[in-house]
Amino acid sequence: MALERSAQLLAQLRAALHASGGWLPFDAYMQQALYAPGLGYYTGQAGQFGDFGGDSDFVTAPELSPLFGRTLAAQVGRVLQHAGLEAVVEFGAGSGKLAAQVLGELDRLGCAPRRYVIFEVSGALKHQQRDTLRSAVPHLADRVQWWRALPDAFEAVVIGNEVLDAMPVKLLARQETGWMERGVTQEGDDLVFADRPTTLQPPAPETHALPVGSVTEIHPQALGFVRTLADRLTRGVALFIDYGFPQHEFYHPQRHMGTLRAHYRHRVLDDVLLWPGLADITAHVDFTAVAVAAQDSGLEVLGYTSQANFLMNCGLLDLVAAEFAAGPPPVAPSSAAAICRPLGGKAATPGGAHYLRQTAAVNKLLNESEMGELFKVIALGRGVEANVLHGFNRGDRTHTL
C-alpha cells in the first residue's frame, strides 16, 4: 500500500518534470513529496510520530514525555492570563498529543482557553488529533476547532513545535562560477539532482568562506509564513520550537553540505529523493532569518534560547519532582506479576520502568548532546510585554541572532 502510494506520487512528479521542461526547483519537489493531496508524507498517512519501533519515522518531544507539553503550558497559561487572551492556535499538531498535554495542564492550572485552534493540512492527521483529544481531554474537546485558513486578524498564543523545519526549502550549490540553484531532474527511471544558474544568494556573509562544492538551504516559504502570521496576529505571542541555529552558525563552514535530511523508520537516509511520500524531508531553521522577517513585518523578538533553558525556566524539573513524589501510575493486575518478579531476578518495584522511561525522556529533552541544545525556542509577539515570558529569564540568546 505504501509503495503503491509512493509510485503514484512518483508518477505525478514525473508529469510535473515533463510540464516544467525536465527540471523542478527543489522546493517544488519537497512541496509535492510532503504535501501532495492524499499522497505526500504528511497528507497520505498518519503514523509518522511515535517512539522507536512500529511504523513511526521520528520522535517529537510530546511523544517522548507528557511533561514537555505540561511545561510549555506553564508559559502559554502565563501569557493567556497576563495578556487577557482567550485562544491558543497550534500549527502542525501532529498526533494531537501536544494539544492534549497543553489543554489538560491549562485546565489543571485554571486557565483553559475558550478556544484551542489547530491549523492542519493533513486530513489523516486531523482524524488522529480528534481521537487523541477525545480520549485524553474529553471534557475540553468541544473547545477545539480546526482552521482551513488563517483569518485576516486574530489574537492568540501561537504554538509551532517542529513546524518551520517541515516547510520546503530552496537548495543552492556553490560552483566555480558562483551559486547555482539545485533542483530535480530525471535520468532513466531515477530522480537526480541538477543545477541551474540563479540570481539567488545565501543571506549571510559567512557563506563567502564556503568552498566550491558546498550546498546550503534558504527558506523563502518559512519566512513567508512568518510574514503572513505577522500580518494577521494583531495581539499575542508565537512560540516556535525547532532545531536550528542563528545565521553565523547555520552557514558555518562545518555545515558546508547543508542540513537537508530525510528520515525513515528512525534512520537518516543518504538519498533525500528516495521513496517520495514515504520519507520525511527536513532542514534546520535559520533563526536569524526568522527574527529579521518577523521584525520587518512588525513583530517583536521577545526571546530566543535553547530548549533546555526554556523548559527549565518554565519549571520542567519541578514537574519531574512532583511526579516522582506522587508515585508511579497504577499497574494493571494482569501485568503486575511480570513487573514485580522478572525472570531470574528479585522482585522489582512496581513502576520502576516508568521512572526509567521518564528519566530517559527528560534527559533527551534537556541534554545538550540531544534535543536540549540542538532545539531552540523563539518568541515573536505584538502587544505583550517580554517580562511575561519567563521561559527566557535565564539563558536568553537574542543577542546572538
**Model pLDDT for residues 175-185, shown as the tens digit of each residue:** 999 999 999 99
Answer yes or no: is pLDDT of 352 > 90. no
User: Is residue 347 very low, low, confident or very high in pLDDT (cuts 50, 70, 90)?
Assistant: very low
pLDDT of res. 122: 86
Among all chains, which residue has been given the C-alpha cell 487523541? Answer: 132
154, β-bridge pairs: 233
Answer yes or no: is pLDDT of 366 > 90. yes
Q: Name the residue ranges covered by the structural domains of the chain.
A: 2-40+165-298, 61-161, 316-366
Type of residue found at 286? D
Phi, psi of 43 (to 5 degrees): -105, -10
User: 61-161, which class in CATH?
Assistant: alpha beta
Under DSSP, is residue 220 helix (H, G, I), strand (E, B) or coil? Answer: helix
Q: Do domains 2-40+165-298 and 61-161 have the same CATH topology?
A: yes
User: Is residue 332 very low, low, confident or very high in pLDDT (cuts 50, 70, 90)?
Assistant: low
Phi, psi of 84 (to 5 degrees): 65, 35
| Grid cell digits, residue 138 | 474529553
User: Is residue 123 very low, low, confident or very high in pLDDT (cuts 50, 70, 90)?
Assistant: confident
Cα separation of 49 and 62, whole Å?
A: 10
378, β-bridge pairs: 240, 304
Burial class (CB within 10 angstroms; exposed 0-12, middle 13-18, buried 19+) of 9: buried
Answer yes or no: is pLDDT of 268 > 60. yes
User: Is residue 94 very low, low, confident or very high in pLDDT (cuts 50, 70, 90)?
Assistant: very high
Type of residue found at 200? L
| pLDDT over 70, % of the chain | 90
Answer yes or no: is pLDDT of 218 > 90. yes
Comparison of pLDDT for 275 and 389, the residue scoring more: 389
Under DSSP, is residue 366 helix (H, G, I), strand (E, B) or coil? Answer: helix
Cα separation of 77 and 79, whole Å?
A: 5
Answer yes or no: is pLDDT of 197 > 60. yes
CB 113 within 8 A of CB 86: yes
pLDDT of res. 58: 67
Answer yes or no: is pLDDT of 249 > 70. yes
CB atoms within 10 A of CB 297: 17
Q: What mean pLDDT comes out for the span 114-127?
A: 93
Under DSSP, is residue 347 helix (H, G, I), strand (E, B) or coil? Answer: coil
In CATH terms, the fold of domain 2-40+165-298 is: Rossmann fold (3.40.50)
Cα separation of 70 and 101, whole Å?
A: 6
The lowest-confidence range among 53-62, 137-146, 303-312, 331-340 is 331-340
Residues 6+ apart with CB under 8 A from 376: 241, 242, 243, 244, 245, 285, 287, 304, 305, 306, 307, 397
Answer yes or no: is pLDDT of 335 > 50. no
Among all chains, which residue has been given the C-alpha cell 513585518? Answer: 297
